[in-house]
Structure formats: structure tokens, C-alpha cells
Amino acid sequence: MTIQIEQQLAKLKNSYTEDELESFVRLSDRWLRKNDNATFEAWADAMILQTLSLIDEEEPYWTFVAAHIYLEKLYDQFATRRGVSPKDVYQEFPAHLAHYTEAGLYHESLTTKYNEQELQQLASYLEPSRDELFTYIGLKTLMDRYVVRDYTKTPVELPQERWMVIAMTLMQDETENRLEKVREAYWAMSNLYMTVATPTLSNAGKTHGQLSSCFIDTVDDSLQSIYDTNTDVATLSKYGGGIGVYMGKIRSRGSSIKGFKGASSGVLPWIKQLNNTAVSVDQLGQRQGAIAVYLDVWHKDVFTFLDLRLNNGDERLRAHDIFTGLCLPDLFMETVEARGEWHLFDPHEVREVMGFSLEDFYDETKGNGSFRTKYAACIANPLLSREVVPAIDIMKRIMRSQLETGVPFMFYRDEVNRMNPNKHEGMIYSSNLCTEIFQNMSATEFESITLEDDVIVTRRKPGDFVVCNLSSINLGRAVPANVLERLIPIQVRMLDNVIALNTIPVKQAERTNLRYRGIGLGTFGWHHLLALKEIQWESDEAVEFADKLYEDIAYLTIRASNALASEKGAYP
């Protein structure tokens, strides 16, 4: 047995009781008898597999045993690369930053915006013991997908260094008590009280990628807009964003083009084009592109749309890698309930005959408003072609699709627009990949393309191209630790700095991000928290607890946002 294996066994015995480790020690002894000259790394790999096999609901702590063994293996590997002992791997942080910035793996701002003294100070804030908070799968996921890797794809960054680099990146332009803000952000992440969004976790401090989570574009009913959107979607997908695309303005199958009747192929070919983009433009191999497409429930192509992801039928009518979302007015749900008839229209024909776009309206109050008025006018106009189907048939198709594929997502447009704090500036047509973000949307308009001084210049009038900047509170850790009042202000500041720092390769999205400065502070771990509090899921007590907890979170978030507005100015 090597000294490293002996030391690791001794460490584990200090952390767990003899009874807890009894089966593990037996497994280790049996393996060592068969492998006399085993290296520490081979023993660690074997013991991780054995340990994971012991996890069950009675003994969940084995995940932490596996994580501890994996950590020691990481420290051993990094110590060899850094030329130090395993216990000193974190002391090399400033040198590590300098070396990999020079190698082009870190952004130069980490070493130009922080001087040597500050870097030493930040290194002293690192808490290696917080690595032990991870479960095995959490640690493995972080190391496999998010830490910085060199050009041979070997990880060169440890967990606490990833948290510190994110904190340094997000706080780099703070003017007052900057190091203290870095320390607070590091405290929040390293204690697993919160998580930043995937693009921030993946890309902060690196030389490539952007920091925002999701984007939503509105496609106009023109070939130019369709292809411009596809290019923008591909660009954003490359840089790590999830995409929502509203296609409700595009004419339906059989609609006219330049007066020629029956010429349009509808939304299907353009959705399939986006499907190919999602598959082919991945995020530097870290994850496949992810795109959600939204359509209105009154659009003539709705049945084709609902069948897009089914696993049977004509493959030419399928797009298996796209997520679908359906935009539903209150009136549709009322019609389903009343078992009434629902009229499907072509949005292009509505614009031509009626002089307005039906999708531009919503019911300003429950049971009354402009959408139902305009929809009734469309029904009453005999010049408009339409398909008339029982509303319940559409609902059945929705439920069938959800049962088989998990989609479509349901987007209740009337309620969303009634609650829109920026309704004076625009309209919300749909949502994003996760149906959690609601901001004003409008299509970017092509104006001209000219040749100026032997340079091709394209002019487009930017629309509201939605950007969402996300972060989540880990309820199972933050609430029991009673840290929400300290956590949320630093989290809101981090989110706001994502907006300030981010360079988005699609300019209309960058403009919208700076105009609206939309942030989403969410939560995860609700079931975990209920278990810790011994509150039964879906009980009245759970509902009451949620009501109080989320009121507190909302209040603290709004208060933190208000304080930032006083300090840095309100959003435009």
C-alpha cells in the first residue's frame, strides 16, 4: 500500500465513523490484495466506483466519500503539474493566473485590472476546505464541463479557483471596496449558497464566450428576416446562449407570396432550418445548441407545429431537436372549457385584409380587451379564409404531444402582458427556452445594403432582442444558514455586472440588454429545503412557507435593485 493510500484512508476515518466506513475498508483491502503495486490514482478510480455503488437512500453520504477520494486524486494531479505538494496546490493561485493568462486561456483583465498585491490578497481568501461541500456528481460535473482547460483539454483550474475567477471577473470594474465585493461573491459561490448561470460559470474569466443565459428573437414575415435570425441564432449559440424564437408573424402553409396564392410553405421549413442550426452549432463541444420556437394557437400551421417532435409519422414533417412553445390567449382556454369552436387564421392574410396584426394584441383585463375584439372581427369578416376546429381537439393534441415529448411549453400571453412593467414600451410575444423570461420584443428591420468605399454596408433598425441574465439561490443551503439578507445584494450586483461586462456578438441583443437591464434571480432546491424543514410536499404548511419565503426573496431582490439604481443610475 502506498503512503498516499494510507493517508487517504486515515483522512476518511477522521471524517466518518467506523461503522460508516466498515464496508468501504473491506472493499479497499480486497482490491489492494489483488493489486499489490497499485498507484494512488488507480486505487482512487477503483474506490470511487465501489463507493458510488454503495449509495442508497439509507446511506447517501457515500457520495461525499467518493467526492473526497476524487478531490485527493485531483490535488495529486495538480501538485505534479504545479511542482508543489498536494496540500499546497491552492497557494499557487497568482502564479497560476499569470501563467495561463500568458498562455491565452484567461482574459488579460484578470492580471491587468488586479495588481500583484491584490492578487496575493485574493489568494488568501481561498478556502480549500469548501471543496468538501460537493457531492461527487457536483464536483465531477464542475471539473468535466466548466473549469478552464488547456489546449489538450486537460483541466488546469481547481474548484475554488473557478469561483474566485468568476468573482474577480464580475467585480473587476467596481470602484468602492472592490476586493471586499470580490470576497463576498466568492463567499456566496464557494459555500454553494447560489449558482451563476451556465454561460457565466463556463465563460467568466476566459478569452471566449459570453455571460448571458438566454436570448429571444422575433422573426418578421420576410425571407431577409428569417435568414438574418438564423445567422444571429447560430452566432449566439456558438457563444453559449439558449435561444427562444417567436415565429408567429410568418405566413402559414398555402398563403400567398406577392399575390400568388398557395405559394407559401408555412413555418415548417424555417423551423427545420433552426433545428439544423441547433445540432450543428454547438458551444465549443461543451453542449449542443438549444432553441425553442413559439407559435400562436390561432395560427393555421398549429397542428403541424404540435406534431414536430413526435416519434412517428412522416419524418419530413419532424424537427426532433427543437423545443416548441404555444402562445395561448385567455379566450382559447375559455373556448376549450366551453367546448366551443376555434378559428385558425393566416397572420399574413389577417394583415392584408384586416389592416392589423392579430398577434399584436392582448386582453388588457381578464375577460375583456383588444385581443378578443380583434379576433371576433376576424371571425366576422367573410373575406378571411380560416379553418374551424373544436378547441378541445387542439387541447387534446397539445396533451398528446406533451405526454410523448414534454412539449409544447405553455405561454399565457394575456396574463404576461398584463403584468409587464414595460408595457408602455412594447409587447411580449413569447418566452425563452425555459419559459421564465418575459420582456418586450420586436423584430429587427432590414433597411438597406450599400457599397461604400469598396465596403459592403448593411443597415438594420434594431428591434428588442431579449437577453436574460440569470442566477439561482440554493434554498437547501442558503435558507438553513440564514444568509438571504447577505446573499441577495451581492447576487443582484453580480447579475447587474454581467450586463455591464458582457460583449454580445449580436448588436441588437447588446442594445436591448443595456436598455432594459433585465435580471432573473431564481431558486432551486425547494424539495431539499422542505425535507430539511420536515414539511410535507404540497401540504398547506408548504404553501404557507413558500408564500412567506418568496415574499422575503422578492422584497430583498427589489431592495437590492433599488440600492443599485441609487448608486449607478436607473435603467433607461
**Parallel/antiparallel/unpaired status of strands 466-474 and 194-196:** antiparallel
pLDDT tens-digit profile of 419-444?
999 999 999 999 998 888 899 999 99
Helix (H, G, I), strand (E, B) or coil at 468: strand
One domain, residues 60 and 181: yes
Position 317 scores a pLDDT of 87
Looking at the fold, whether 100 and 226 belong to one and the same domain comes out as no
pLDDT of residue 491: 98
Residue 483: φ, ψ to 5°: -115, 10
pLDDT surpassing 60 at residue 109: yes
pLDDT at 27: 79
State the pLDDT at residue 369: 97
The answer to whether residue 61 scores a pLDDT higher than 70 is yes
| Grid coordinates given for 161 | 479557483
- Number of Cβ within 10 Å of residue 9's Cβ equals 19
Report the pLDDT value the prediction gives residue 285, as an integer from 0 to 100.
Answer: 59
Sequence-ordered list of residues with C-beta below 8 angstroms from that of 254, at least 6 positions apart, any chain: 261, 262, 264, 266, 300, 346
Mean pLDDT within 118-136: 96
On whether residue 86 sits in a domain, the answer given is yes
Q: State the residue range of the domain holding 54.
A: 3-203
Q: What is the mean pLDDT of residues 325-338?
A: 98
Taking each helix axis from N to C end, the angle separating 159-170 and 116-125, rounded to the nearest 10 degrees, works out to 130
Count of domains for the chain: 3
Residue 329 pLDDT > 90: yes
Range with the poorest average pLDDT among 119-123, 237-241, 467-471, 549-553: 237-241
Q: Which three cell numbers stand for residue 293?
A: 420556437
Task: Tell me whether residue 198 is in a domain.
Answer: yes
Most confident of 5-14, 259-268, 379-388: 379-388
pTM given for the model:
0.90
Q: How far apart are CA 566 and CA 572, in angstroms?
A: 14
Position 11 in a domain: yes
- Does one domain contain both 333 and 381? yes
> How large a percentage of the chain has pLDDT more than 70?
99
Q: Does residue 460 form part of some domain?
A: no
* 545/518 same-domain check: yes
Query: Of 150, 169, 203, which marks where a domain is finished?
Result: 203
pLDDT at 161 over 60: yes
CATH number of the CATH domain containing 382: 3.20.70.20
196 occurs within a structural domain: yes
Judgement on whether residues 396 and 474 belong to the same structural domain of the protein? no
Q: How many CB atoms lie within 10 A of CB 434?
A: 18
Q: Is residue 165 part of a domain?
A: yes
Claim to verify: residue 188 and residue 252 sit in the same structural domain: no
| pLDDT of 239 | 78
Q: Which of 145, 172, 203 is the last residue of a domain?
A: 203
**Binning pLDDT at 50, 70 and 90, where does residue 545 land?**
very high
Higher pLDDT, 261 or 410: 410
Q: Are residues 289 and 419 in the same domain?
A: yes
pLDDT, tens digit (0-9, with 9 covering 90-100), for 444-485: 999 999 999 999 999 999 999 999 999 999 999 999 999 999
Predicted local confidence at residue 287, as pLDDT: 62
Give CA–CA dist 385/164, Å, rounded.
61
283 pLDDT more than 70:
no
pLDDT bracket for residue 33 (50, 70, 90): confident
155 and 238 co-located in one domain: no
Same-domain status, 41 and 181: yes
Q: Which of 434, 468, 474, 502 is catalytic?
A: 434
Q: Which of 275, 432, 440, 502 is catalytic?
A: 432
- Judge if 27 and 161 occupy the same domain: yes
The pLDDT tens digits for 168-202 are 999 999 999 999 999 999 999 999 999 999 889 99
Indicate if the pLDDT at residue 284 is higher than 60.
no
How many Cα atoms within 13 Å fall on the side-chain side of residue 475? 19
On whether both 39 and 178 belong to a single domain, the answer is yes
Range of weakest confidence among 237-246, 317-326, 422-431: 237-246
Q: Pick the catalytic residue: 174, 352, 436, 445?
A: 436
434 is catalytic: yes
Average pLDDT, integer, range 191-214: 92
3-state DSSP call for residue 320? coil
Does residue 409 form part of some domain? yes
Instruction: Give residue 259's pLDDT.
Output: 85
pLDDT in tens, 65-89: 999 999 999 999 999 988 888 888 9
Active site residue 432: yes
Are 344 and 236 in a shared domain? Answer: yes
User: What pLDDT sits at residue 367?
Assistant: 94
Instruction: Pick 187 or 263 by higher pLDDT.
Output: 187
Whether residue 454 lies inside any domain: the answer is: no
Averaged pLDDT score across all residues of the chain: 93
pLDDT of residue 286: 59
pLDDT band for position 14 (cuts 50, 70, 90): confident
Instruction: Give the confidence band of 305 by pLDDT, cuts at 50, 70, 90.
Output: very high
Residue 436 known to be catalytic: yes
Instruction: Please tell me the predicted confidence (pLDDT) of residue 171.
Output: 98
In order of 208, 271, 512, the CA distances from 506 in angstroms are 15, 20, 10
Q: Quote the pLDDT of residue 312.
A: 87
